[in-house]
Structure 1
Amino acid sequence: MTAPVDRLWYGSGRPLWPLWPLAWLFRWISARRRQKLLTVAAPSELPVPVVVVGNITAGGTGKSPLTAWLVTALRARGWRPVILSRGYGGQADSHPLLVNDAISAEQAGDEPVMLWQQTGCPVVVDPKRYRGGHWALQQRLGDILVCDDGLQHYALPRDIELAVFDGARGLGNGAPIPVGPLREPASRLNSVDYVITNGAEPLALNHPHQYCMTLTPGRLRHLHSSDQHPPGWLQGRKVRAVAGIGNPQRFFDTLMELGAKVRPLGLPDHHRFKPSDLTLEPDEVLVVTAKDAVKCASLAPQATWVLDVTAELPDAFLTSLLARLSGLGSEKGDSTLNELRD
């Protein structure tokens, strides 16, 4: 998202109200598509648990950090998670595509490469995520599928849904695209299993399973070497902050909270960088997100640092999720899961 869109969608009013006919058309098409994929064209369920992380609003909410946290937590408890992604912006010659160190962001998309680097879990890219999931199981890559940003991808059957919100933005002005940020109506939350708010307080929603997530600044790592610094290294430094993510302002706010003197440049999500985006003034350092780092390494100046963030969620959420997964083992067939774990 960009600043003008933020003001139009996430303010208190609805300045784009003349576009309501388009908004209702968008909602009608979305509802018809969902109904068709869930009934007439519904594919058969996959033999392992499928967890979908997504949202009902456009823009960045923290889906990918939550996905990284989730697969790390699952692996620590004996699961073998596989991440499914459509690979937005990638231009691979064929799919499914298994991400590895030789696969670039230009091929797979920025988020799949970032998630592979952060977690080491298999990441399978395929716009047809049902096909990608089947292929992952055929290759015996894991025993649970976690779909990053797939709440509206109804061609993929799912067992557990997580809807993620930015705590500062919430539902915005509550209107559908293009009048507001809603991909689906707020009533869609009645059917998701968990609502996760990226912030200190949950949203004012009547949902039985709401939890808060915080994103904690971690290390600053040099883009072109193995050098690292703690976040406090930014205190008092002149920083050119560049972010091509769903909510750049959240990144800039984090840097300012760490004491940096920030000169920000917010760019559209999945932006393709050019050298002029990354120029520095005297005495500045460039700080980028982990998502942008996988795209701009060949263009970025020497004084470029990446701020890694980690998600933190309450133990109660993980306990609840693991209990649901345990129940799914019986429904899916424990023998199938045990075979994939051997």
Structure 2
Amino acid sequence: MQQRKQEKQIVRWWYQPKLVLPLWPLAPLSVLFTWVAAFRRGLYKIRLKRRTKVSLPVVVVGNVTVGGTGKTPTVMGLVRLLQGAGYRPGIVSRGYGGEGPFPQRVDKNSSPLQVGDEPKLLAELTGVPVVVAPKRVQAAQMLEASGEVDVILADDGLQHYALDRDIEIAVVDGERGLGNGWRLPVGPLRESRRRLRKTQWVIINGGQPATIAGLKLKRNEQAVPMTLTSVGWRRVSDGAEIDVPDGESVLAIAGIGNPERFFNFVMEHGIDIQETRVFSDHHAYSAQDFYDVSNEVPILMTEKDAIKCRSFARPHWYYLQVSAQFPETFKEQFLRAVQQASGRELEQQQQGVKA
């Protein structure tokens, strides 16, 4: 419990406009982190480390900050967009929090403890092939060999340079932005904000690009506003749809990168939150986490939390299903880019056959 409070405090400091005094002693570590990351990128740039190219177009969806920015709903939205255009997408993920073995195909019998909570969620809600492996190249090659997909979406793979990619999309939390602008552990940045300029698009999850300090992109159309809309409430135990959670007041829990976003979303639906509980991102839930909660108290949670609570969920536990909404201009541009990448791959394959 004490460790969780300390983690929450550090995150609050990260997202202050300027560097706060308690973080100053960590500045040398931030400098070291920056140099190590730059050295690693440099190895790929001068080709001392190899990038592996698979025969299918690869779309990477990632971020330059730690914690939740909305990558999972973004990936699900892109899957639906690709399916609507006639593509057969598949997803590769690191499988964070999963114990393996890797690479591993995620299916209805997979445990979040083995494959991670987000890949399990993606597999259940999209119905497309999902493969997890810390080495994303292995996961992509497994999908490639299956013959089931013609486009690969790499979830949270922006810094995984070993897997070559055709399209890069970064996701930024429109409410929290880029924080104090420092690298880990002094700030939330994995890479410099300049890294965003090298991606094809930067999706802003809530809010507007103009409100995010330091977001200097090459062109205005590179920034894409995204909104999350409610699809409806479902019961955790069986996924059944309900109109609205019962009870006058509820307990809201969240084990995601930005729990306040979920709590605010719930209150916007006119639901009175009696208590909130924040768990660490990717927390491995157990029934013991709720030993002090009455069976009659409704508990509200995110889809990601629900995946890990289903086996011991009580009748009055519910989760909110959401859907990502993109502007029409972005949809057209994205599908055009995928089509161009697919054409390049086909041309390369034909040239290989002729050779």
Q: Normalising by structure 1, report the TM-score.
A: 0.93
- Report the equivalent of 1:174: 181
Question: In structure 2, the residue corresponding to 1:177 is in which secondary structure?
Answer: coil
1:325 maps to a residue whose letter is V
Aligned position for 2:71:
63
Letter in 2 for 1:9: W
Describe the superposition over 1:55-101 as per-residue Cα deviations: whole angstroms up to 9, x where unpaired. Answer: 00111100000000101110111111110001001112x32211111
**Counterpart check, 1:104 vs 2:101:** no
Tell me: CA distance 1:14–1:336, structure 2 relative to 1, closer, same or farther (3 Å). same
Distance in 2, Cα, partners of 1:301 & 1:4: 31
Q: Quote how far apart the aligned CAs of 1:226 are.
A: 4.9
SS at match of 1:284: coil
Q: CA RMSD in A?
A: 1.9
Separation (CA, whole Å) in 1 of partners of 2:108 and 2:66: 30
**Deviation at 1:234?**
4.6
One-letter amino acid of the structure 1 residue matched with residue 237 of structure 2: H
2:337 maps to amino acid: R
Identity, in percent, stands at 41
The answer to whether the 8 Å contact 1:249/1:266 transfers is no
Residue 318 of structure 1 aligns to a residue in which SS?
helix
Alignment: residue pair count: 334
Instruction: Tell me which moved more, 205-214 or 161-170.
Output: 205-214
| Distance in 1 (alpha carbons) for counterparts of 2:115 and 2:342 | 31
* Counterpart position of 1:287: 300
The one-letter amino acid paired with 1:109 is G
Residue 153 of structure 1 is matched in structure 2 by 160
Q: Does 1:29 find its partner at 2:40?
A: no
Q: Which amino acid aligns with 2:149?
A: G
Deviates more, 1:36-45 or 1:124-133: 36-45
1:296 and 2:321 are equivalent in the alignment: no
Flag the 1:235–1:297 CA change in 2: closer, same or farther, 3 A: closer
Asked whether the equivalents of residues 245 and 318 of structure 2 are also in contact (C-alpha less than 8 Å), the reply is no
1:309 equivalenced with 2:322 (yes/no) = yes
Task: Choose which of 237, 246, 253 in structure 2 pairs with 1:242.
Answer: 253
Inter-partner Cα distance in structure 2 for 1:158 and 1:237? 49
Of residues 223, 236, 250, the one that matches 2:236 is 223
Q: Which residue in 2 is equivalent to 1:267?
A: 279
In 1, are the aligned partners of 2:52 and 2:163 still within 8 Å (CA)? no
Amino acid at match of 1:217: S
Note the residue ranges of structure 1 that are not aligned, 5 or more in a row.
Answer: 338-342
SS of the residue corresponding to residue 295 of structure 1 reads helix
C-alpha distance in structure 2 between counterparts of 1:226 and 1:135, whole Å? 30
TM-score in terms of structure 2 length: 0.89
Partner of 2:58: 50
Match of 1:340 in 2: none
**Does residue 277 of the first structure (1) align with residue 289 of the second (2)?**
yes
Superimposed CA distance per residue, residues 177-206 of structure 1 (whole angstroms, 9 cap, x where no aligned partner): 111101001111121110000013123533
Question: 3-state SS of the aligned residue for 2:311?
Answer: coil
Distance 1:268 1:298 in 2: 20
Alpha-carbon distance between aligned partners in 1 of 2:131 and 2:190, rounded to the nearest angstrom:
25
Using the alignment, how far apart are the partners of 1:235 and 1:311 within structure 2? 26
**In the aligned structure 2, how far is the partner of 1:59 from the partner of 1:219?**
25
- Post-superposition offset of 1:242: 1.1
Structure 2 gap segments, 5+ residues each: 351-355
Amino acid at match of 2:331: L
Secondary structure of 1:317's partner?
Answer: helix
